[in-house]
Amino acid sequence: MKIADLYIRVSTDEQAEKGYSQRNQEELLRKYCEANNITIRRVMFEDHSAKTFIRPEWKAYLSDLRKNRGKADLVLFLKWDRFSRNAGDAYQMISTLRRLGVEPQAIDQPLDLSIPENKMMLAFYLTGPEVENDRRALNVIDGMMKARKEGRYMGLAPIGYINRADEKGKKYIAINEPQASAVRWSFEELVKGVYNTEQVYKMAREKGFTGTKSLFWFAIRNPVYCGKIFVPKYRNEPSTFVQGVHDPLITEDLFYRVQDVLDGRKRNQYRLKVVSNSTLPLRGFLTCPTCGKILTGSASKGHTKHYSYYHCSLGCKFRQRADDLNQQFIYELRKYMPRPELAELYKVVLKQTWSSQNDHLVNEKRQLQKQMTELENKLIYIRELLSSKLIQPDDYLEMKSDYKTKVEKLKARLSGLSDNDLNFKELLNKGISNLLRLDKIYENADIDKKREVISSIFPEKLYIENNVLRTFRVNEAVNYIYLINNNLRENKKGQAEENSDLSCQVIPAGFEPATHRLEICCSIQLSYGTFFK
């Protein structure tokens, strides 16, 4: 009496499509053994692909055969596609089983492999499933390529998006908050060149980004966030980018500018982020009046609460209460706020400046369009060279891809310049409104925003003289605001009111010259204007 092991294999798709359930296979195999007087030694159940023999249950079975030679004569399965869907691997496995004294056999497709002609039938049985697998894979790849060309993102949605399907069952990706806002913020922060990628990643984690560092690097390199879908090279078609059907998180211009930063084409002097608690916004901006070193800060525990101090180090004993200096800074900050009655004047000047900047943008747009035309002419030229057989097809495809990439970047830059024209009136009203309440905005801002305001208004360090804050220089724009405010406060005798304790190295000017200087400084934009967007 022969002894057999039963091998039962299914995959999820086959169970759904062909009804190859494990119970059905087992029932048929047991009936076959009963009818042919075969003893069953063991039954193996496998839920794994038959493309290779790297299957958990099958590997365990081979190990058992090596330890228990001669314990089984046959390994039975329903059809040869249950055994393998790869003809090359199948022949090798049949040889391995024979060396172990076991003969493989399909009960629905029986073959006596001792007869040479039957090997041709075996090849047919094994090759059929392999061809079916290859055709299915090819159909899937063709379908995915077609979907990509239509602008649909394939696979698991990138961070900031979520997979969705429309009423017709077509899949797409939709914006998923709050991750989307964290990704968008990361791009906007990287292009500034203030912090390096590592620092931006850590700050993005604080803003809700939940991915790993490697995922963050992949995200800031992924064009899907600017609305582009990458279509890889396939058959004779070169790789390309198409416009996606999903909503972009950022503009193309911003994406390409960030890539320039990451690739080193745009050099930035990164600054280290100074860690400071909310009670020490001036930490790193103050110099010691005793030794001239940069003051640091720390908190000391009192009887009922903690008290913060700005103090020196390296043996210097200078120390002053933080809340006193913080309050004094807010008092000085108010001297650089525009007078409310001048709000309309600033709007007029800024509108004029905006118009002059638009003239510059028109020239830049004209230059970009000229460059695009030149590249398009080059594309036409190399196409003619190809038709004349003066260049090889591979060279043509390489040059075409290079030129098209450059054209896409120019289009993105042109689109970015066009976006600058939008909604200027709303931004102007909001900006002037925020300038008029600069002190309140500063007081209510978080520590990072406070430090941005300080660094933008005071490009040089602050120092303490006679317990009063001073500086050698302030931002040019706020300096003119200070001059205009002072000139408007002159009394009837022509004497100005008490000057600010915060030293400004400027020459007094009347209303008209100061207004003219204001227009000049607006032309280079308020350096701390980003705070008010």
Structural domain containing residue 365: 340-422
Residue 270 lies in a domain: no
- Assess whether 19 and 113 both reside in one domain: yes
The most confident of the ranges 8-17, 23-32, 351-360, 496-505 is 23-32
Residue 61 lies in a domain: yes
Confidence band, pLDDT 50/70/90 cuts, at residue 259: confident
Q: What percent of the chain has pLDDT over 90?
A: 15
Kindly state the tokens that stand for 325: 């200096």
Question: Is pLDDT larger for residue 509 or for residue 206?
Answer: 206
Any bridge partners for residue 432, and if so which?
none
Query: In this model, does residue 183 exceed pLDDT 90?
Result: yes
Confidence band, pLDDT 50/70/90 cuts, at residue 267: low
The confidence score (pLDDT) of residue 7 equals 92
Query: In this model, does residue 175 exceed pLDDT 50?
Result: yes
- Assess whether 443 and 316 both reside in one domain: yes
Residue 148 lies in a domain: no
pLDDT digit string (tens) for 387-427?
888 888 888 888 888 887 788 777 777 766 655 555 567 77
Residue 269 lies in a domain: no
- Assess whether 33 and 90 both reside in one domain: yes
Residue 274 lies in a domain: no
- Assess whether 32 and 110 both reside in one domain: yes
Mean pLDDT of the 45-69 span: 89
Query: In this model, does residue 172 exceed pLDDT 60?
Result: yes
Residue 147 lies in a domain: no
- Assess whether 352 and 333 both reside in one domain: no
Domain boundary, last residue among 120, 135, 150: 135
- Assess whether 322 and 446 both reside in one domain: yes
Q: Which residues of 350-388 are buried (b: 16+ CB within 10 A; e: fewer)?
A: beebbeeeeeeeeeeeeebeebbeebeebeeebeeebee
The confidence score (pLDDT) of residue 517 equals 45
- Assess whether 333 and 479 both reside in one domain: yes
Question: Angle between the 213-220 and 179-192 helix axes, to the nearest 10 degrees?
Answer: 70
Mean pLDDT of the 289-311 span: 83
Domain with 53 in it: what CATH number?
A: 3.40.50.1390
In 62-191, which ranges are E strands? 74-77, 103-106, 161-165, 171-175
pTM above 0.85, yes or no: no
- Assess whether 117 and 207 both reside in one domain: no
Query: In this model, does residue 191 exceed pLDDT 70?
Result: yes
User: To the nearest whole number, what is the mean pLDDT of the chain?
Assistant: 79
Domain count for the chain? 4
Confidence band, pLDDT 50/70/90 cuts, at residue 59: very high
- Assess whether 418 and 446 both reside in one domain: no
- Assess whether 328 and 472 both reside in one domain: yes
Q: What percent of the chain has pLDDT over 70?
A: 81
Confidence band, pLDDT 50/70/90 cuts, at residue 503: very low
- Assess whether 318 and 466 both reside in one domain: yes
419-433, 449-463, 485-499, 516-530 — which is least confidently predicted? Answer: 516-530
Kindly state the tokens that stand for 189: 């922060």
Residue 140 lies in a domain: no
- Assess whether 310 and 383 both reside in one domain: no
Domain with 236 in it: what CATH number?
A: 3.90.1750.20
